[in-house]
A and B are shown apart, each in its own frame.
Chain A
Amino acid sequence: MRDRELVIVGGGPAGMAAALAARAAGAQDVLLLERDQHLGGILNQCIHPGFGLHHFKEELTGPEYADRFARQVAEDPGIEVSLRSFVVKLTKDREISFLRPGALEEVKARAVILATGCRERTREMIAIPGSRPAGVYPAGLAQKIVNMEGWIPGREAVIVGSGDIGLIMARRMALEGVSVKAVVEIQKTSRGLVRNVVQCLEDFGIPLYFQHRISMIHGRDRVEKVSVVKVDDEFRDIPASGFELSCDTVLISVGLIPENELLEMAGAEMDRKTNGPVAPEVNLTSLPGIFACGNAFKVYDLADSVTRDSELAGRAAARYLGLK
């Protein structure tokens, strides 16, 4: 088992920022593990602008924001990037097993930073009744399908939840010629940025229903329609307020949860409500020498904030290693 100074799991904005900051703070031997074939993580599918206003003082798309960091990482001789590398095991003593094409590698790290991002909450987690036809997608998956795979999931869509991903996908689908019937939000306000409500919905005349929920998804093989009902302040259905929207696609955008299986496997104390680590301050876990940053630590609104906090994680790991 080879000894490494610092191993970072995840090559998205968090992992890249942590790697570069750890190097700047004196780390000599950084191994950056990424399961995809490219660095960049979720930024690769976030092709809309709105990134970098804080960090670079200019507005970039997600891929451009990722590209700036990926180039710095690639040019840094102290960072070894291992792509298509999927970590399957982490112990509290910082032993890491990862799969890469043709090999199972094992390393022992003096410090570990987990930058594993988050996952989408699904239809099952908000319990929308109805049948289980094709055409129900988590909004982020639909984003990948449209922006990276190049196909359109349907012709008429209803979006559940007005978080940023839902709003951005409403615009994206509308631009691709999909008829976006409505965004349905159970709360009184949008969890997304106001600018996204304006430029994603108002620009395209897409209705946004606050205090409404989908009470049923209909369809046998494919989604045929959804039932929508208005709710009161206690989220109880208001009688006789229901209506139907015909559609063949439902996108679910109801929040994200940190992805922390590795941290759990290592035995760290977890917050069951958020799925983030229990920690006295940002980027720490209950295990010495194991850090978590970016959306794996807590779900952020802006990639720029992920970069800022993940740089702190890189420096914290360097301090733990006795550097500087």
Chain B
Amino acid sequence: MKRLMTCIECPQGCSLEIEADGTRVISVTGQKCKRGDKYARQEVEAPLRTLTTSVLTRGLELRMLPVRTSKPIPKEKLFEAMEGVKRLVVTSPVKAGSVIATDFLGLGVDLVACRALNKI
């Protein structure tokens, strides 16, 4: 079975053509770099996305702290992860890279701060 997709690894957005048997990839063509091949295989088997959102703070310089998952998570877990994020409040100063939640929702990834925020 042939599948067409657009690579989302970088702004080039290569058009990929994937030959697959169910979730087993036979060949990938159209990518300008090796990330395209890896993306296509992952996308066919189990799509992953990095979640970026912001978390409520208390007593810090800004009302919201931008955060990301340290690694991509399964695409179908995005909304569950958003629910989890809404339950968090950050009250201690952070730096870019500070871990806000370890093994977030048991997904095997950390939730990480994307910027520094100090106390007011």
Contacts and interface: CB of A to CB of B under 8 A. Distances in A.
Nearest to B15: A194
A67 B54 contact: no
Range of interface residues on A (Cβ < 8 Å): 20 to 34
Interface residues of B, number: 29
Nearest to B97: A64
B64 A64 contact: no
Contact of B114 (A38, A47, A150, A301): A47
B8 A195 contact: yes
B13 interface: yes
B11 interface: yes
A177 B80 CA distance: 11
Contacts of B62: 38, 148
A175 B79 contact: yes
Contacts of B1: none
A300 to B, nearest CB: 12
B6 A148 contact: no
Contacts of B50: 49, 59
Nearest to B13: A194
B11 A302 contact: yes
A302 B11 CA distance: 9
Contact of A195 (B10, B64, B114, B115): B10
Given A49-B52, A177-B82, 6 more contacts: A62-B114, A64-B68, A147-B64, A175-B51, A194-B6, A195-B13
Interface of B: 5-11, 13, 49-54, 56, 61-64, 66, 68, 75, 78-79, 82, 96, 114-116
